[in-house]
Structure 1
Amino acid sequence: MIHLPLVRQGPLRALAVRLAMALGLVLTAVAVVYADREGYRDVNEDGLSLLDCFYYAVVSLSTTGYGDITPATQGARLINVLFITPARVLFLIILVGTTLEVLTDQYRRGLRISRWRRKLKDHVIICGYGTKGRAAVDALLETGYDKSRIVIVESRETAVRQASANGFVVIEGNATRSAVLLEADVKNCKSVIIATDQDEASVLITLTVRQLTAGQVRIIAAVREQENAALLKQSGAHHVIVSSSTAGRLLGLTTTAPPLIDVVEDLLTPGQGMALAMRSAERAEVGRNPRELTTLVVALIRRGKVLPLGGEQAVTIETGDLLVYIRDDATSPTDVSF
C-alpha cells in the first residue's frame, strides 16, 4: 500500500460531522412540525404526539412519505414548501455526499499516485524507518536532497504513520518481497539504502534488489555484526556499514583520545564547523598533486576506487577524478556534503 503525504480530516471525524448534521436537521424538522402540530392530520384523528412528529420528520426527510400524516392547514403546507422540502434535499445531499466523497477520495488518491509515478525518477529508497533509516533521511535532506525523491519502505504501522506525517511517500510492506520493491519503482531508482534492524533481512533485501535490477542500482546496507559484512557484499551490496564496530571504534577513541571524537562528530555533522565534501576535479587542477591545492584534500576517488595520498608515490589529478576534502560552513552549491 502506498501512503502519500497528505494532511486531511480523518474519516471517522468526517463521518461524525455528517451524522451530527443529519441528526440536527431531523431535530429541527421535529421542532418545526411539533410547534405547528395542530395543522397536521393523522389517520387516527387523535392529534400528533412528539413521537408522531419524529415519525413524520424522518419519513419526510428520507422521501419515504407513507401519507398517514399530512399537512391540513395552509400554514402547515407553507412550512412544508419553505422548510421541509429544502430540508429533504439537504438531508439527501448529506447522505449521498458521504458516498460521493469516498469515491472522489479514492479517485483523487489514484490520480495522485499516477502523477507521482510519472514524476518519480532517480529517487532513493530507504528500507526501514528506524533509528538508522531516519538518520539516513536526515543526512540526505541536509545535503539538499529533495524530499519528494525519497521513498520509505516500512512494514511497522507506527513507523509508517511517522514517515507519512513527516511528509514522505511510504510503501507499506516487507522490503524482502519483490512486489513491495516494485511498488517503490526500484528499477528506476538511484540507490537503495537498507537500514533494517536485522542482518538476515538486510541480506534478503539485498538479494531481492539485485535480482530485480540486475545489479544496476547502487545498494548501501547497514549491518550490526562484522561477520555479516562480507555476506552482504557477496549478495550484491556496494557499500556495507557495520554499525556495531563503528560505534565500538568511536567508544574506543573517546576513551583513549577524547578530542578525536569531537573532530569526528564535527566532520559528520553538516553546518557545525568542519564537514566532509566532495566535488569533481576542475580543468586547471588536472595534472597537479592534490596536496598542492588550497583546499585540504583527504582522498582522491578515481573510477570508483579510493587512491591513497600518502606514501612515496606521487598521485596526480586526472580528468574525471573526485576530490574529497574538508570544508567550512560556506559550502559551494556544487559541493556534495557527506
Structure 2
Amino acid sequence: MKLPGHDAIARQADEHLVTQRVRLPRKVVERPIRQVVERLLMALLVLVATALTVYADRDGYHDNSDGPVDLLDAFYYATVTLSTTGYGDITPVSDAARLTNIFVITPLRVLFLIILVGTTLEVLAERTREEWRLKRWRSTVRDHTVVIGFGTKGRSAVQTVCATGLKKDRVVVVDPSPRAIDAATAEGYAGVVGDATRSEVLKRAEVDKARQIIVAPQRDDTAVLVTLTARQLNRNAKIVAAVREEENAPLLKQSGADAVITSSGAAGRLLGLSVLSPAASMVMEDLIQQGSGLDLVERPVVRAEAGKTPRETDDLVVSVLRGHRVLGYDDPSIGTLQLTDRLITIVRATPSTHVTPHLRPLPQD
C-alpha cells in the first residue's frame, strides 16, 4: 500500500489547526442569531416606550433649540438618555417630568443597558463556563474510549460499545469534519475536530489516558498513520482498527493494532453466508448487534465453574481465552476451566448485559 507524503498530510492537517478544540456535549436552547434578534427587539420596545412616555408629558420638557418638544424630539431624547449620552439640549423642567425621569426613565435606562450589554456578558460568561468545563473534563477523563472517525463504521462501533454499558461521557470522537463532531456532540459524546494523524490532535482527546481506541477512518493509509501515532502515545491501550482491503490488515497489526477488521471482507463473507443460508446470516447479524436478541459476551470464569468443562456451564460457551490463545469449546486441550480463563459466550440480550472491559490486548491467531 502506498502512503501519501508526509508534507501533503501536514498541509491538509493545517487547515484544521484553528478548529482543533475539544467540544463537550451540551443542550442548545436556541440559535444565537435568533437570540440576538429577540434582544434587539426588546431594546427597541424599551426605546419606543421611553419616547412615548416623554411625548405624553412633552409640556414638562424644554428644547433649548426651538422650545416645544415634538415626537421626533421625544425619540431623540429617549435615545440619548437610554444610551447615557445626555447632551443636555432637552431637559425636564416640570416636577412631573422630573419624577417621571426618576421612577420611569431611569429604570428603563437600566433595562435598556442590561439588554444590550447582557449579550456581551453572556458570551463572556459562556466562554468562561466552557473553559471551566474543559479543565474539569481534562482532569477527570481517563480509561475512556477514543473513536477516530465518525462515519458509518465509527458511529456503529461507538453505538455497539455503549450498548454494552459504556457511558457516553466516557467516549471522545475525533474527526476532521466539524459537521461530524457536531453530530457526535449532539448524541452526547465529546468531540475533537482535527486530523488524527497528528499527535497534537490525539493529545487533545487525551489518548495517552485512554483504555481503548477505535480507528475507523475512510482511508486505509490514514488508519495506518493514526494507529502508529496512537500506539506511540499509549503503549497499553487496546487498539482496534478497520480497513477496507484485506491486504492492508497485516500492515495495521505491524503498526500496533491489537485487532483488525476488514470491512469489505466481512461484508463479502456475510453476503456469501446469506446465499448459503439466509437464516444463518440473520443469526450472525443478531450476534454482532448488541442489545437485541442474542449477544456475544466475554466474561471471566467464576469460582463455581472452575474445574468444569465448557459444556457443563450454564451459558453457551463458544470459545475459551487462555493466555494469548483462543480455544474452541470442543478443543481437547482445554480440559477443565481455570479461574484465569475467560469465556466467550452467547447469552440472551438484556438491558444489563455488558462486556467486562479489560486492558489486555485481543489474542492473535
TM range (shorter): over 0.9
Residue in structure 2 matched with residue 227 of structure 1 by the alignment? 247
**1:22-41 superposed matches below 5 A:** 22-41=43-62
**1:180-195 superposed matches below 5 A:** 180-195=201-216
**TM-score between the two structures when normalised by the length of structure 2:** 0.87
Q: Decide whether the 8 Å contact of 1:309 with 1:315 is kept in 2.
A: no
Quick one: higher RCO (CA 8 Å, sep 6+), 1 or 2?
Answer: 2
CA RMSD of aligned residues (A): 2.0
CA separation of 1:171/1:331 partners in 2, compared to 1, >3 Å: closer, same or farther? closer
Q: Secondary structure, in 3 states, of the residue corresponding to 2:297?
A: strand
Residue in structure 2 matched with residue 266 of structure 1 by the alignment? 286
Task: Output the CA distance in 2 between the equivalents of 1:44 and 1:332.
Answer: 81
Task: Output the CA distance in 2 between the equivalents of 1:40 and 1:194.
Answer: 74
Structure 1 residue 271: deviation in Å? 4.0
Q: Decide whether the 8 Å contact of 1:279 with 1:334 is kept in 2.
A: no
Task: Output the CA distance in 1 between the equivalents of 2:354 and 2:112.
Answer: 60
Q: Decide whether the 8 Å contact of 1:277 with 1:325 is kept in 2.
A: yes
**1:309-320 superposed matches below 5 A:** 309-310=329-330, 313=333, 315-320=335-340
Residue in structure 1 matched with residue 297 of structure 2 by the alignment? 277
Structure 1 residue 177: deviation in Å? 1.4
Q: Secondary structure, in 3 states, of the residue corresponding to 2:299?
A: strand
* Paired amino acid for 2:211: K
Q: Secondary structure, in 3 states, of the residue corresponding to 1:297?
A: strand
Task: Output the CA distance in 2 between the equivalents of 1:308 and 1:269.
Answer: 22
Task: Output the CA distance in 1 between the equivalents of 2:332 and 2:100.
Answer: 102
Q: Deviations over 1:100-122 (max 9, x none)?
A: 21111111111111221222111
Q: What is the aligned counterpart of 1:246 among 266, 269, 272?
A: 266
Residue in structure 1 matched with residue 89 of structure 2 by the alignment? 68
**1:150-169 superposed matches below 5 A:** 150-169=171-190
**1:1-338 superposed matches below 5 A:** 1-9=21-29, 10-213=31-234, 215-310=235-330, 313=333, 315-329=335-349, 336=356
Q: Deviations over 1:180-204 (max 9, x none)?
A: 1111111111011011111111111
Structure 1 residue 138: deviation in Å? 1.2
Is there any run of 5+ residues in structure 2 with no aligned partner, and where?
1-20, 358-365
Q: Secondary structure, in 3 states, of the residue corresponding to 1:260?
A: helix
Structure 1 residue 94: deviation in Å? 2.2
Q: Deviations over 1:7-61 (max 9, x none)?
A: 1333323322222221111111111112222221111224223222221111111
Is there any run of 5+ residues in structure 1 with no aligned partner, and where?
none
Q: Deviations over 1:142-164 (max 9, x none)?
A: 11111111111122122111111
The percent of aligned pairs where both chains have the same amino acid is 47
Task: Output the CA distance in 2 between the equivalents of 1:271 and 1:62.
Answer: 61
Structure 1 residue 166: deviation in Å? 1.0
* Paired amino acid for 1:259: A
